Amino acid sequence: MVAVLASAPEPVTTGLAIELRNVSHAYDLPSGRLAVLENIDLVIEPGTCVALLGPSGSGKSTLLRLVAGLEQPETGSVLADGVPVEKPDPSRVLVFQDPTLFPWRTVRRNVALGLEAQGRLKTEGHRIDEAIARVRLTEFADAFPHQLSGGMAQRAALARALVNDPRLLLLDEPLGKLDQLTRLTMQGELLSLWQQSGFTALLVTHDVEEALLLADRVIIFSDRPARILGERRVELPHPRHRGGAELIALRREILQLLGVSEAI
């Protein structure tokens, strides 16, 4: 597996620096205003992997949508390399909890979406098969999404993101719906993809262990409206071990910050 991953050509990507300045956001719902983000200040250094950890439905996904440029914050600003984010761009790709593959397209044509939309299919089409190989789906390149397992579908979604050589990968609980075994395998795969490529990664998760295994920094969010409760740096080399003493200590601290009882 490592051999397959290593044989893929090394893309020359430099991670994007992200800065959120005093960002607040709310949605107008029929039932009234729903504040989801409150005064978020956050600086993410290029090439790092940062985990956003917090209770489900707290507004972390909204934060990703703002960074992706799918929505504009109500107040405050989102900067990518110092430039305000105004609209989506293929350099900042979002991977959702659901693979959201296009059901009428084969894996290959799903992966081709980005290049097709940017009119680069003719010149850079060869990268499609490379991206599919990177996520080990070569045998399933001509399969339709409904023929894939959950893990394979999510890997296809990853390939669809990676084919654009993103400088920032936004991962919205990408492993949230997978079974435990697939989840563990894919954590390793995500890690090696990130290590190879040099993009900045922003990972939303509510799994403390996942955050600690993958990220350089873990930002802890409160319940909605989300505020930053604190953060922890994880200065451990990869691969990290779930049972390691430092990890367990960090896990305890984070759970305390979130107000979850020790027994869990």
Partner 1 sequence: MADTTQTAGGALASSALFGDIWRNGLLAAASWLLAAAVTVGFTDVVPWGQTKLFALLLVIGAGAFLELAFTVHRLGAIGRKLVHYGPWWIALGLWLAAWEVSTAKLGWLPKPFFSPPQGLLHVYLTDWDRLLVCVLYSLRLWGLGFFSGIAIGFIVGVALGWSKRFSYWGMPLLKLIGPVPASAWIPSAFFIFPTTFGASIFLVALASGIPVIILTASGVASVNRSLYDVARTLGADRRFLVLKVAIPAALPNVFVGLFMGLYSSFAVLVIAEMLGAKYGLGWYLQFQTAYSAYANVYAALILMALLCSGLVKLLFVGRDRLLGWQKGIVQW
Binding region for partner 1 (CB under 8 A): 65, 68-70, 88-90, 92-94, 96, 98, 100, 102-105, 113-114, 116-118, 144, 146-147, 160, 164
Q: Is the peptide bond before 225 cis (omega within 30 degrees of 0)?
A: yes
Identify which of residues 111 and 214 has a Cβ nearer to partner 1 in the complex.
111
d(CA 198, CA 180): 27
Least distance to partner 1, CB of residue 49, Å: 19
d(CA 161, CA 164): 6
Identify which of residues 96 and 236 has a Cβ nearer to partner 1 in the complex.
96
Least distance to partner 1, CB of residue 106, Å: 8
Identify which of residues 70 and 229 has a Cβ nearer to partner 1 in the complex.
70
Question: Are the CB atoms for 215 and 50 separated by under 8 Å?
Answer: yes
Question: Are the CB atoms for 188 and 219 separated by under 8 Å?
Answer: no
Q: What are the Cα distances from residue 207, in Å, to 16, 100, 175, 229, 232? A: 25, 22, 10, 16, 15
**How many CB atoms sit inside 10 A of residue 93's CB?**
24
Least distance to partner 1, CB of residue 222, Å: 26
Identify which of residues 16 and 94 has a Cβ nearer to partner 1 in the complex.
94
**Angle at CA 212, nearest 5°, toward 167 and 47?**
20
Identify which of residues 97 and 185 has a Cβ nearer to partner 1 in the complex.
97
Least distance to partner 1, CB of residue 146, Å: 5
Residue 229 neighbours by CB under 8 Å, 6+ apart = 54, 220, 221, 222, 257, 258
Question: Are the CB atoms for 88 and 80 separated by under 8 Å?
Answer: no
Question: In terms of C-beta distances under 8 Å and separation of at least 24 residues, what long-range contacts does 180-186 make, across chains too?
Answer: 182/149, 182/150, 182/151, 183/210, 185/151, 186/151, 186/154, 186/155
Least distance to partner 1, CB of residue 114, Å: 4
Question: Are the CB atoms for 103 and 144 separated by under 8 Å?
Answer: yes
Least distance to partner 1, CB of residue 89, Å: 7
Identify which of residues 109 and 136 has a Cβ nearer to partner 1 in the complex.
109
Least distance to partner 1, CB of residue 120, Å: 9
Identify which of residues 130 and 232 has a Cβ nearer to partner 1 in the complex.
130
